[in-house]
Amino acid sequence: MEDKIRYPEIDFFIRNIIKGETGHLKKMEEYARLRHIPIVQAETAALLKVLVNIHRPQRILEAGTAIGYSSGIMAKAMSENGMIDTIEIDEETALLARDNIRELGLQDKIKVIVGDALEIMQCLYSSYDMIFLDAAKGQYNEYFAEAFRLLRPGGLLVSDNVLYKGLVAQSGPVLHKHRTITMKLREYLVELCRSDQLETAVIPIGDGLAVSVKKGEKNE
């Protein structure tokens, strides 16, 4: 998805300066580009790697696997015994993700779960150190309760596409076809930013990324 949040010359500069992926991850980028599969943009991938390096999660939950690119990026940045559960609703896409994950040699670190993210999250009980929401944008409000329940105190909730082409921050009228999603994402951001139980930063990179920390024993 083309983002329209920032200045094109800044995007161009940042994308050129970022250390690009190599090997199979690079092939996955090309595959996604040719088939218009929306995977995280280079600057979002870079921030995910930094977050994983700082936070050192042992267990990550991802909603929205697609071809397994972002889970591959995060798994490579995790420690040796780190694990990712990632949920994908589309069976064929999930099969493709599994093939890619095997090709990356990450099959022991990443488990692809096929199903609806909300339904799967409702069935999960063990806690996660980090949760990355990148599935159905219109359902982030519903994902939130489950993600909050599954996140350990001090854990990171990372939500992608929260500025949705910049429309979420736009003051004027929004085209009818984008109105519902824009309203829902505004409500979601208000919930994240006003919650007493989270600290949230909204970062205008990629399609907009919200990074929230669940307050807990360590950061009350």
Ligand X SMILES: C[S@@+](CC[C@H](N)C(=O)[O-])C[C@H]1O[C@@H](n2cnc3c(N)ncnc32)[C@H](O)[C@@H]1O
Which positions lie near ligand X, rule CB under 6 A?
38-40, 63-64, 66, 69-70, 87-90, 93, 116-117, 134-136
Closest approach of Cβ 213 to ligand X, in Å?
A: 21
Is the Cβ of residue 70 or residue 159 nearer to ligand X in the bound state? Answer: 70
Q: Please report how close the Cβ of residue 13 comes to ligand X at its closest, in angstroms.
A: 22
Report the residue number, 87 or 213, with the smaller CB distance to ligand X. 87
Nearest of 47, 42, 53, 94 to residue 76 by alpha carbon: 53
Minimum Å gap between C-beta 142 and ligand X is 10
Closest CA to 39 of 132, 115, 131, 127: 132
Q: Which is nearer to ligand X, 40 or 78 (CB)?
A: 40
Q: Which residue do the tokens 């972002």 mark?
A: 70
Q: What angle in degrees, to the nearest 10, is found between the helix axes of 91-103 and 69-77?
A: 40
Tell me how far apart the 2 most distant CA atoms of the chain are, in Å.
49
Residues 6+ apart with CB under 8 A from 199: 212, 213, 215, 219
Nearer to ligand X, 14 or 154 (CB): 14
Output the smallest distance, CB 113 to ligand X, in A.
9
Q: Rounded to whole angstroms, how far apart are CA atoms 89 and 128? A: 20
Phi and psi dihedrals of 85, rounded to 5? -105, 125
Residue with tokens 């909204």: 202
Pick the closer one to ligand X by CB: 90 or 108: 90
Shortest distance, CB of residue 90 to ligand X, whole angstroms?
Answer: 4
**Between residues 122 and 215, which has the closer beta carbon with respect to ligand X?**
122
The values of phi and psi at residue 183, to 5°, are -60, -45
Shortest Å distance, C-beta 31 to ligand X? 11
- Selection from 51, 1, 49, 59 nearest residue 25 by Cα: 49
